[in-house]
Chains A and B, each alone.
Chain A
Amino acid sequence: DGGITQSPKYLFRKEGQNVTLSCEQNLNHDAMYWYRQDPGQGLRLIYYSQIVNDFQKGDIAEGYSVSREKKESFPLTVTSAQKNPTAFYLCASSKVAGDDEQFFGPGTRLTVL
């Protein structure tokens, strides 16, 4: 089955620790995205990548970092510089950047204690 996988589903970390969230897709999509979702708010774009070895900051990139070494993979690191990291993180992909339909993964809920 083609799709997007995110792992883990739930993640707990102590304050001050960096943590990396995994996102893998087997849809052969060029573009990948990371969003953050907080209760009662819409999705906010953290980073996006249009092609391998390229990525751009979204609206709320501070305290986050990404890499895109392979087409299939777009991991997100939440650093200790992120002031309020507890949230639901969603990874998405589309055939090309700016394409209409984005396919979303199941999400990772990060809780920082």
Chain B
Amino acid sequence: EDQVTQSPEALRLQEGESSSLNCSYTVSGLRGLFWYRQDPGKGPEFLFTLYSAGEEKEKERLKATLTKKESFLHITAPKPEDSATYLCAVQAGGYSSASKIIFGSGTRLSIRP
């Protein structure tokens, strides 16, 4: 069964304390892995897409990496404004397989000043 698991469920860090969020997946035919940021009561905001193992992408204090079984979202020297829920999603199968996008339950990140 296709599955996406994010850990930890919640993470509290001090401002400037670097850490990583994990997204492990079990899907048939990975087409892409996506990271989104979601603020409370709002829609998710797209961050990255990763396509193949070994790929990395960066944006400000965030860096996403991908292996054959999991993805990490590394956050370097976070600031309070980085506090949000980070969602991972995986697209499996062939083209136009919108029904095969599977979201994890997210990691709630809280950065204390």
Determine the distance from Cα of A106 to Cα of B41 in the docked complex, in whole angstroms. 8
A42-B44 contact given A33-B98, A101-B49, CB 8 Å threshold: no
- Residues on B with beta carbons closer than 8 Å to the beta carbon of A16: none
| B99 x A45 contact (CB < 8 A) | yes
Which residue of chain A lies nearest to B101 when distances are taken between CB atoms in the complex? A45
| A97 x B96 contact (CB < 8 A) | yes
Determine the distance from Cα of A42 to Cα of B4 in the docked complex, in whole angstroms. 9
| A42 x B106 contact (CB < 8 A) | yes
Q: How many interface residues does chain A have, given as a range?
A: 20 to 34
| B32 x A48 contact (CB < 8 A) | no
| B96 x A98 contact (CB < 8 A) | yes
| A42 x B105 contact (CB < 8 A) | yes
Number of residues on chain B facing chain A (CB within 8 A): 27
- Residues on A with beta carbons closer than 8 Å to the beta carbon of B46: 101-103
**Cβ of B78 to closest chain A Cβ, rounded Å:** 23
A107 interfacial contact with B, CB 8 Å: yes
Determine the distance from Cα of A50 to Cα of B105 in the docked complex, in whole angstroms. 26
Q: A43 contacts which of B32, B41, B49, B103 (Cβ < 8 Å)?
A: B103
Q: Which of B12-66 contact A (CB under 8 A)?
A: 31-32, 34, 36, 41-46, 49
A40-B105 contact given A90-B43, A107-B41, CB 8 Å threshold: yes
Interface residues of B (CB under 8 A from A): 4, 9, 31-32, 34, 36, 41-46, 49, 87, 89, 91, 95-99, 101-106
